[in-house]
Chain A
């Protein structure tokens, strides 16, 4: 054995690159978060500019913190730990570099396209198809480099961290590809292949598991490496690792429908979402237990070591969020919390607590290590810890309170059966909460900036070791088992089998939920009166998506008295069959729009015109941004025909040849709305370039007036019994 000791060096340079990217993108993502938080308090901060409105910045914030901050954090941790756990340098330095620069290019491309309004309108998957392809390619580069490093390892068995890395890689690949199937119309415009309920199911299967396999499993892998390293304690329980790993990846996938409780998703799928979420508590907590109990006997260190402090809070936040998540999946709790700021609080406990704090802990541990020095200021790091913790508390508490209050107000009836509050009353009641929340976010950001300074100073004071020498014997070709071994040791020697088994484990849940929803017709009962959008409405819908209206407005009336009284008949699955993509939304900062064009919610064209020009003109104290550019920009009709053709390809029943007359039909409908507005031109807030049938606002009005009009609604107070 010792005859074949090999000398090699770990690549620290790639870890350094990812570490710098993590810290910088983290600051950017958090800064955008603070900006949009402030926009809800001071709507003037939207600056009346398309590129800086809330609807476009909010996807920028989520994408930046998830894919840029946490994404780079994952790669930093994987590149550092994988090499050491495999006793091998990364398989290819070139692939490492392609991965790094490719990922940064994706981030820049994402930031630019989102700000300029190129979006698919699917939450956390907003990026348009060319970027989706880039992500796929770079993900393959990462996977190839990782798998080949594992194949060339000098360590017989794979440590639990690597199981998580493998499962992460294979699952994210699956999620990203399946959810991103879209039909391109142009270089920067595409439509989701799925429609309505099916699109919602696929999207939340993706969205939920992006949380699972991008924000959770890779970070559990990091936890399994960096906590025992930092605490110098053995992992608490090997068999707990095994059970919770397999249970976690198998069960997590099923829980996606809990994002769609009480929507038009079939009941059986909702119930699966509920029960698998409850079953997920223990597997999630398995990770927390193994992390916290690894610190048994090292708690005295936790008191002094800032790295461990960050990690303990991270793991605790993980435990809280993964208990709260299943509770939120109970239908009765979900009825309260969904669409409110409670969910915003919940995800930020996960993001700020678990992902943020673990990343900070790892950075504080890695930088002194790689620069061969000690931390520049322990005191400053400790301040970061306390400011960050205070930031989380000041963020979460007001948001929980706000969420509870929103539900309370929106469901309150007077004795004589009337809704106690208008939606605007609720918006008005939120200012204090939103202000406090932005303060919490600002504190958190200040902490992160302090860390950047501290780490920069640390790096300056040390000398970076780009190639860390190491040596280990090569693996012998054959392996014989000595004595009795744990049954799981077998697969720990077989990375490819590990990958295949993981894929099977994560594949089952998705398939069993999607196939029936796609194939069995009963799941989405047809409504014959539902018609495809007119070309003008379709263009209006694309504007709605471009401006990110779905970040504040849902289009899903749930079957509750408080909602049907406020918005009208509850939404039916059959109403969404031509919605590529669906726009149900996940948060109601503004009211639901599913029946905006129908019944009691219907407003005049002039109302909509004024409302988009200045929301406070029709809804005093509204916090919605103004959209002046819609009143002056001509609608781009160059793609209308191809959009109709794309819809036809996906089965939307326009008569054949309709694409050729689409623009003419569109102009006709626009003229009607224009004529109507013209009659009231003295009363409306016309933009600089006057009133024109060609302006984008006309298409948007057509779309809004269309919403919810497809079904004949029976009076709601007829009891169904």
Chain B
């Protein structure tokens, strides 16, 4: 069959590229320790698309020959032959270009950069060319089929085109001639035709099985793919790197060592906004304390200096119900909240909760009053 030639051609192209890519890898391994092209998901995705298109082309080829046979067009054969030659030439041409491109190796460091992304590698370029070729074949076939069905249909164009398209795609026997494939089954008046399996369905099924096998091999036999623990480690590492990069140039870098008391009312007022959103459910609207301690008295569980308060807000107190807010608030915002909290000192709101922790005084250094230090989260097992 004519389309066998083109398929062989395409397969051949692909195997050549695979070969080229392997060669490439050998060269790479001598020069670089960067990940090979086989670790690039793009590579596999492209192969997958290429195979899929190939199957589609085979189907279209069958449809095309069916039409050609039906309308007995000699002309089609001629068009086809010419086209076939063009395709083969294109394939060969592109292989040679690519093969040459490979021999002239790029500089090692640019190579490494490309490899990192997966794009730009000769094998990838080759696959892209193949896919483009395949797409043009598909397009050409479609044009041919369209022109045939148009010129030969007697019935209104719209209806014919729709049903014929699906009949061709599914390789259904036309309704008028379905008696030929009627089985002798009959159940309560229900008859059964025996149409062929729709080719796209059949090959799609096969491809999905193939994909399944490839997936298992990739992750569990070759162990190339990252399973979830490794994937997590990579994600965290990437986050760490980008965070470090950000911190290196970030100006807003106040922390528990550098924070200072502010007297700027607008700065403190900004803290009130965050306080209302995040803090008041536990510490009360006026800082009087609900399930969290009273913030208006001079007694502190974890220190009453601005640096202490900043630290408590930033890191929380593990296991005590005070969560760390550094996920929700930026460093500057923690500074605002801490200052706002300290601005509440001595306001003595109504319903103030009893003092907890130690008396903190800016000018007294010894730990004085030892009012009930309690643990409000104790669930200790007996």
Contacts and interface: CB of A to CB of B under 8 A. Distances in A.
Interface of A: 81, 84-85, 87, 155, 157, 159, 225, 228-229, 234-241, 243, 247, 262, 267-268, 270-272, 274-276, 278-279, 281-283, 285-286, 289, 293, 296-297, 413-419, 422, 486, 534, 559-561, 564-566, 570, 597-607, 610, 617-620, 665, 668-669, 672-673, 676, 679-680, 682-684, 701-702, 705-706, 716-717, 719-721
A416 B243 contact: yes
Interface stretch (B98-106, B120-128, B304-312, B313-321): B313-321
A234 B379 contact: no
Contact of A271 (B183, B215, B246, B291): B215
Contact of A605 (B235, B329, B376): B376
Interface string B316-334: 1011110110111111000
Interface in B168-207: 170, 172, 175, 178, 182-183, 185, 187-198, 201-202, 204-205
Interface centre among B215, B239, B290 (most CB of A within 10 A): B290
Contacts of B324: 600
Interface in B352-382: 353, 374-382
B201 A286 contact: yes
Given A566-B327, A683-B289, A701 B201 contact: no
B231 interface: yes
| 8 A-B pairs with least C-beta separation | A282-B205, A604-B321, A275-B212, A668-B382, A559-B232, A234-B191, A237-B195, A606-B291
A599 B318 contact: yes
Interface centre among B172, B195, B281 (most CB of A within 10 A): B195
A697 B82 CA distance: 83
Contacts of A282: 201-202, 204-205, 208
Contacts of A683: 289-291, 353
Given A268-B220, A283-B205, A673-B379, A719 B240 contact: yes
B79 interface: no
B236 interface: yes
Contacts of A618: 281-282, 291
A235 B193 contact: yes
Contacts of A702: 379
Given A271-B220, A415-B246, A276 B201 contact: no
| Main DSSP-derived SS at the A contact region | helix
A559 B230 CA distance: 10
A417 B246 contact: yes
Given A234-B193, A235-B190, A668-B382, A721 B237 contact: yes
Contact of B172 (A159, A267, A296, A721): A296
A193 B252 CA distance: 55
A237 B327 contact: no
A543 to B, nearest CB: 15
Contacts of A229: 188-190
A231 B367 CA distance: 90
Given A238-B185, A561-B236, A281 B320 contact: no
Contacts of A281: 204-205, 208
Q: How large is the interface on B (under 10, 10 to 19, 20 to 34, 35 or more residues)?
A: 35 or more
B211 interface: yes
Interface in B10-44: none
6 contacts: A234-B191, A234-B193, A237-B193, A416-B243, A701-B379, A719-B236
A686 B7 CA distance: 78
A240 B205 CA distance: 12
B220 A157 contact: no
Nearest to A270: B228
B379 A610 contact: no
B271 to A, nearest CB: 17
Interface of B: 163, 170, 172, 175, 178, 182-183, 185, 187-198, 201-202, 204-205, 208-209, 211-213, 215-216, 219-220, 227-229, 231-233, 235-237, 239-240, 243, 246-247, 250, 252, 281-282, 289-292, 316, 318-321, 323-324, 326-331, 351, 353, 374-382
B190 A239 contact: no
A275 B281 contact: no
A278 B208 contact: yes
Contact of A419 (B185, B243, B247, B327): B327
Contacts of B351: 682
A223 B26 CA distance: 57
Contacts of B201: 240, 282, 285-286, 289
B232 A560 contact: yes
A297 to B, nearest CB: 5
B319 to A, nearest CB: 5
Given A237-B193, A559-B231, A418 B326 contact: yes
Contacts of B290: 610, 683
A604 B377 contact: yes
Given A155-B187, A281-B208, A414-B330, A560 B379 contact: no
Nearest to A414: B330
A679 B374 contact: yes
A619 to B, nearest CB: 7
Nearest to B191: A234
A675 B179 CA distance: 86
Contacts of B328: 418-419, 422
B360 to A, nearest CB: 21
Contacts of A684: 291
Contacts of A720: 229, 233, 236
Contacts of A619: 281
Interface centre among A236, A272, A665 (most CB of B within 10 A): A236
B213 to A, nearest CB: 8
B237 A610 contact: no
A617 B323 CA distance: 17
A239 B219 CA distance: 35
A672 B211 contact: no
Nearest to B229: A559
Contacts of B205: 247, 279, 281-283
A665 B382 contact: yes
Contacts of A610: 290-291
Contacts of B237: 719, 721
Nearest to B213: A275
B379 A600 contact: no
Contact of A679 (B204, B229, B281, B376): B376
A293 B166 CA distance: 10
B379 A672 contact: yes
Nearest to A706: B379
Contacts of B178: 234
B215 to A, nearest CB: 5
Contact of A276 (B212, B231, B323, B353): B212
A680 B291 contact: yes
Contact of A234 (B170, B192, B213, B330): B192
Contacts of A240: 195, 197-198, 201
Nearest to B231: A559
Contacts of B292: 604
Contacts of A157: 185, 187
Given A597-B379, A602-B377, 4 more contacts: A235-B193, A238-B183, A262-B228, A603-B323
Contacts of A297: 175
Given A237-B196, A276-B212, A85 B330 contact: no
Contacts of A570: 232
